[in-house]
Amino acid sequence: MKTFNQKIAITCIAVAVMTFSLVAAPNFANAKDIVKVAFIGPLTGGVSANGIGGRNSAELAVKVRNEDPAAKYTYEFVGMDDECKPNVGVQVATKIASDKRIVGAVAHYCSAVALSAVKIYHRFGLPVIVWGAVHPDVTYGNKFNEIFRVNGTMINQNETAAKFMTSNGYKKFVIINDTTDYGKAHKEYFSKFIVENGGEIIESFGVTADQQDFTAELTKIKKLDPEVIYFGGLTPVGVRIRSQMNKLGINAQFEGTSGLKSDAYIEGLGDLSEGTLSFIEGAPLEKLPGGEFFSSEYTKVGYDQAAESYGPFAYAAMNLLLDTIEEKGPNRKAVVKALNAPAEYDSIIGKIDFDDHGQNTVAAISKYVVQDGKWVLWEDSEYASGKRSLKK
């Protein structure tokens, strides 16, 4: 009996030692404190390509930082899925915000989700930098100190878009928008700026985000004979509409918003995507000093999905968050305070300068057109030089 007890005791000690060494080993190996930062975006569902691109980019920022020996902390990356659904977003936001070890987050591609989640970040005092959602109310609809945004709003986007279109001689527009606040607000601002610039909105159609067949709407649109079809919504629906326009023989210029500018759009349409226009905030990546670095690092890690158009924003937002934590320490209040102080930051998306609502005011809007299966900056395209022409 005694030997049996001894055996048990020895086993217990062995197990305890092993457990301890397993738990303690990483701590000994790495003397730096571990700080958690979070990312939220749509990783499943129709716009998951953009979400995964953003997730990878934000993760890349953390990876690069962890490899930097000068960094004060080791960062742990927490990626979460909001499914582009407001209700899921609220849940995930609660989870992130109530986890006290998470110091800050880079969150939301979908405006609908961002709008519903901001008040939770405010309640829990979590600093959040929005990386993709463009609805103005995300920053301007509240007075929350905790909410910042590196990308511009749809107001700037639509103002540029409307000016550009009318100055190119287009007068008659039809709007198709999805029925979330994102789509509705795009419709509102675009209509406003088009009318100010002397254009005319003939008709607008609301569609749901999971609709597959648009022939009924497009048949009506064909009858209305617009010069431009403006689409306020995200890539999957945009692909369907553009492709069915062709089926019905509608020969209008197709124009999208920032939600359309993704590689998935071109991949989904092939040659049909030629000549589609899109407007997006931020200076073009390849023209910025850090852009090259980002692209090369991204390919080096070997992600199997592209960063997509908002990937650089997610990267810049995460970098800004990490910089602030490095400087002020892993404390939510300190980070919020530091980000609210007036300052200008350099990033791969250009200068970042937050106004009193936490909105980045550097609002360079880039115009893009699809040329030979690539989104090309308007100024560099053969459309601008007159070699090719948009539809009239």
Partner 1 sequence: MDISLLAQFTVNGLMLGMMYALVAVGFTLFFGVLDIIVFSHGDVVMVGAFAALTGHYWLTGIYPDMSMWVELFFISCISIITVAAFGMIMAKTMILRLRSASPLNTLLATMMLGTVLREAVRLFFPGGSNPKPFPVLLPDISASFGDFTLRFDSVILFVLGALLIVSLHLLITKTKLGMAIRAVAQDEETARLMGVNFTLIVLITFAIGSAVAAFAGVMNGLYYNEINFGMGLLLGAIGFSAAIIGGLGNIYGAILGGFLFAGLQTLGAVAMPFASAYKDVFAFGVVILIMAWKPTGLIAEKTSERV
Partner 2 sequence: MSTNTTNSLSGVLCSFAFAGVITALMTAIFIVESQLLIAGVLLGTIGAIVISSKFGVTSIILKSLGENENLSNALAVLVTLALIVIFYDDHYVLFILCTILLYSVTVLGLNIQLGYAGLINFSGAAFFGVGGYTAAVLSQYHSIPPILTLVIGGIIAAIVGSILLLPILRTSGHYSALVTLAFALLFKVFLDVNDSLGGAQGVDVGSFTLFGWDFGNDITIGSYDVSFYVPYVLASLVMLCVVFFFVRRIERSWIGLCLDSVRIDEVSSSCFGINIVRWKIVAFTIGNFVAGLSGALYASILGYISPANFSFGDSLMFLSILLLGGIGNLWGTIIATAIVVVLPEKFQVIQEYRLFIYSTLVLLMIVYRPVGLLPRKTRTYRPGESS
Question: Contact letters (x/-) for partner 1, 169-198, by CB under 8 A?
Answer: ----------x-------------------
Q: For the segment 276-335, give every residue that binds partner 1 (CB under 8 A).
A: 305
Q: Does 205 bind partner 1 (CB under 8 A)?
A: yes
The tally of CA atoms less than 13 A away on the side-chain side of residue 57 is 32
Q: Which of 63, 66, 122, 124 binds partner 2 (CB under 8 A)?
A: 124
For residue 335, report the phi and psi dihedrals to the nearest 5 degrees: -65, -45
Q: Which of 213, 296, 344, 386 binds partner 1 (CB under 8 A)?
A: 213
Going by C-alpha positions, the residue among 122, 124, 103, 132 that lies closest to residue 40 is 132
Nearer to partner 2, 101 or 392 (CB): 101
Question: Which region holds residue 2: left if phi is over 0, alpha if psi is between -120 and 50, else beta?
Answer: alpha
The item of partner 2, partner 1, none sharing an interface with residue 248, based on CB under 5 to 8 Å by kind, is: partner 1
Question: How far is the CA of 165 from the CAs of 49, 76, 227, in angstroms?
Answer: 28, 45, 10
Rounded Cα–Cα distance for residues 36 and 30 (Å): 15
Rounded Cα–Cα distance for residues 86 and 110 (Å): 9
Cα-Cα-Cα-Cα dihedral sign, residues 274, 390, 187, 365: positive
Nearer to partner 1, 214 or 354 (CB): 214
The item of partner 1, partner 2, none sharing an interface with residue 180, based on CB under 5 to 8 Å by kind, is: partner 2
Determine what percent of the chain falls in helix, strand and coil, rounding each to the nearest 5: 50, 20, 30
Going by C-alpha positions, the residue among 288, 8, 314 that lies closest to residue 151 is 314
Q: For the segment 141-200, give every residue that binds partner 2 (CB under 8 A).
A: 178-181, 184
Shortest distance in whole angstroms from residue 193 CB to partner 1: 24
Q: Name the token pair of 165.
A: 């279109």
Q: For the segment 219-278, give every residue that binds partner 1 (CB under 8 A).
A: 219-220, 222-223, 235-236, 239-240, 243-244, 246-249, 264, 267-270, 272
Cα-Cα-Cα-Cα dihedral sign, residues 121, 357, 86, 256: negative
Shortest distance in whole angstroms from residue 19 CB to partner 2: 12
The item of partner 2, partner 1, none sharing an interface with residue 337, based on CB under 5 to 8 Å by kind, is: none
Shortest distance in whole angstroms from residue 227 CB to partner 2: 27
Nearer to partner 2, 269 or 306 (CB): 306
Going by C-alpha positions, the residue among 242, 181, 185, 233 that lies closest to residue 214 is 242
Q: Does 210 bind partner 1 (CB under 8 A)?
A: yes
Shortest distance in whole angstroms from residue 119 CB to partner 1: 29
What residue ranges bind partner 2 (CB under 8 A)?
Answer: 43-44, 48, 52, 55, 78-81, 85-88, 90-92, 94-95, 97-99, 112, 115-116, 119, 124, 178-181, 184, 206, 208-209
